């Protein structure tokens, strides 16, 4: 396999998989504000790994949960 083909196969393989981050990494991100980070502290587990989309989804579910 040539170097060009190898790079193309890596791109195909890598494009389907999203990067996953730990709770500490996500909370340290500049993508979230202080209030959002407080919510992430509650919804994310210490030993879990999440994509940014998963973290945002969990945060939305928590914020839109019906109060009883």
Closest by CA position to 27, among listed 16, 18, 36, 19:
36
At residue 1, the pLDDT reads 40
- Span between the terminal Cα atoms of the chain, in Å: 60
Which ranges in 1-68 belong to alpha helices (H)?
3-16, 23-27, 34-43, 52-63
Closest by CA position to 58, among listed 26, 14, 29:
26
From first to last of its 68 residues, the chain has per-residue pLDDT tens of 444 443 443 444 444 567 999 999 999 999 999 999 999 999 999 999 999 999 999 999 999 998 88
At residue 13, the pLDDT reads 41
Q: Which residues pair with 21 in a beta bridge?
A: 50
| Structural domain spans, the chain | 19-68
Whether this model's pTM surpasses 0.75 = no
At residue 18, the pLDDT reads 77
């Amino acid at each position: 396999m040539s170097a060009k083909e190898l790079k193309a196969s890596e791109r195909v393989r890598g494009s389907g998989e999203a990067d996953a981050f730990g709770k500490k990494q996500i909370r340290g991100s500049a993508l979230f504000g202080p209030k959002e980070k407080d919510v992430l502290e509650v919804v994310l587990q210490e030993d879990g790994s999440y994509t940014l989309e998963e973290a945002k989804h969990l945060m939305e579910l928590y914020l839109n949960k019906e109060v009883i």
